[in-house]
């Protein structure tokens, strides 16, 4: 059996995973080593995964909104590409809205994204010049959910402690992102990224992604609760993952346009 990690950890890990071509200034080999471990754990773990996700979006005024959806994911066996489906179940009026993503991890590639709106019975392809758009109004960016392409950043070790290691990442194309750099802390035992701090031009942390709760599921450490905070407004989004299952036999045709209009209900229960 392949070494499988929860694909959900990849969600966070991808943000700090190291590109093979990048060389950090202080300790490139060491940073690369950690990033590679994290990348491997995240990208190449498991063929399929399923999770029921609940997002609680809390704004600066403590007003709450909820979103609920099921995530299906399947890895491409040959490369780092992935297929994803997001089926919304709540709020009731957006039920059956579906996102379909074909994530391409190659050099200079963009993901393919589609959207299905049941009320209008319309399938749309979504194009975006960048991936830093909000994921359905939450504090997570689309990129936080689909995974930031690791080739876009360079890494160096910021701090190496007994149980954790911190990598400082900078975007190769600074104009494509709103942050100046980010600092990701990786748990040495699980390789899970437990905290990512985004820094602005003045070196201030303005955004934070944290793993709030991790569990071992089917033998693998898994983030079951993560939180992204907007440190400027005080708003945050809490994401809870439930009913996590790996290695479900999900056939390829589930990840096609056909599922947009006819969701694979047996995976959504």
Residues that bind another protein (CB under 8 A): 54, 56-57, 59-61, 63-66, 68, 90-95, 97, 115, 117-120, 122-130, 132-137, 142, 175, 201, 232-233, 242-243
Considering the complex, state which of residue 193 and residue 235 has its C-beta at the smaller distance from another protein: 235
Considering the complex, state which of residue 79 and residue 204 has its C-beta at the smaller distance from another protein: 204
Least CB distance to another protein at residue 226 (A):
17
Answer for the pair 239, 224: CB distance below 8 angstroms, yes or no: no
Least CB distance to another protein at residue 129 (A):
4
Residue in this structure with the two tokens 């099921």, named with its chain if needed: 70
Residue in this structure with the two tokens 């979006």, named with its chain if needed: 57
Closest listed residue to residue 7, CA positions, set 188, 228, 192, 229? 192
Q: What are the tokens at 203?
A: 């070196």
Q: Is the dihedral of CA 40, 46, 47, 51 positive or negative?
A: negative
Considering the complex, state which of residue 164 and residue 230 has its C-beta at the smaller distance from another protein: 230
**DSSP 8-state secondary structure symbol assigned to residue 19:** P
Least CB distance to another protein at residue 107 (A):
22
Least CB distance to another protein at residue 20 (A):
29
How many whole angstroms separate alpha carbon 36 and alpha carbon 85? 26
Considering the complex, state which of residue 63 and residue 161 has its C-beta at the smaller distance from another protein: 63
Least CB distance to another protein at residue 85 (A):
16
Considering the complex, state which of residue 75 and residue 226 has its C-beta at the smaller distance from another protein: 226
Answer for the pair 259, 85: CB distance below 8 angstroms, yes or no: yes
């Amino acid at each position: 059996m392949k070494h499988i990690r929860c694909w959900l950890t990849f969600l966070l890990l991808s943000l700090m995973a190291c590109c093979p071509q990048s060389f950090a200034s202080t300790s490139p080999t060491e940073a690369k080593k950690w990033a590679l471990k994290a990348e491997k754990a995240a990208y190449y773990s498991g063929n399929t995964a399923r999770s029921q996700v609940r997002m609680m979006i809390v704004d600066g005024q403590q007003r709450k909104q909820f979103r609920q959806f099921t995530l299906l994911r399947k890895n491409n066996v040959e490369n780092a590409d992935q297929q994803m489906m997001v089926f919304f179940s709540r709020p009731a009026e957006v039920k059956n809205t579906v996102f379909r993503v074909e994530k391409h991890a190659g050099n200079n590639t963009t993901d393919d994204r589609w959207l299905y709106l049941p009320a209008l019975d319309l399938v749309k392809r979504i194009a975006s010049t960048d991936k830093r758009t909000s994921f359905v109004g939450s504090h997570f960016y689309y990129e936080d959910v689909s995974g930031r392409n690791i080739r876009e950043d360079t890494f160096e070790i910021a701090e190496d402690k007994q149980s954790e290691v911190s990598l400082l990442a900078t975007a190769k194309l600074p104009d494509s992102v709103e942050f100046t750099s980010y600092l990701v802390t990786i748990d040495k035992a699980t390789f899970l990224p437990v905290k990512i701090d985004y820094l602005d031009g003045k070196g201030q942390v303005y955004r934070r992604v944290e793993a709030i709760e991790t569990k071992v599921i089917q033998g693998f450490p898994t983030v079951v609760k993560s939180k992204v905070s907007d440190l400027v407004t005080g708003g945050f989004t809490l994401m809870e993952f439930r009913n996590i299952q790996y290695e479900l036999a999900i056939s390829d045709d589930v990840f096609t346009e056909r599922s947009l209009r006819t969701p694979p209900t047996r995976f959504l229960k």
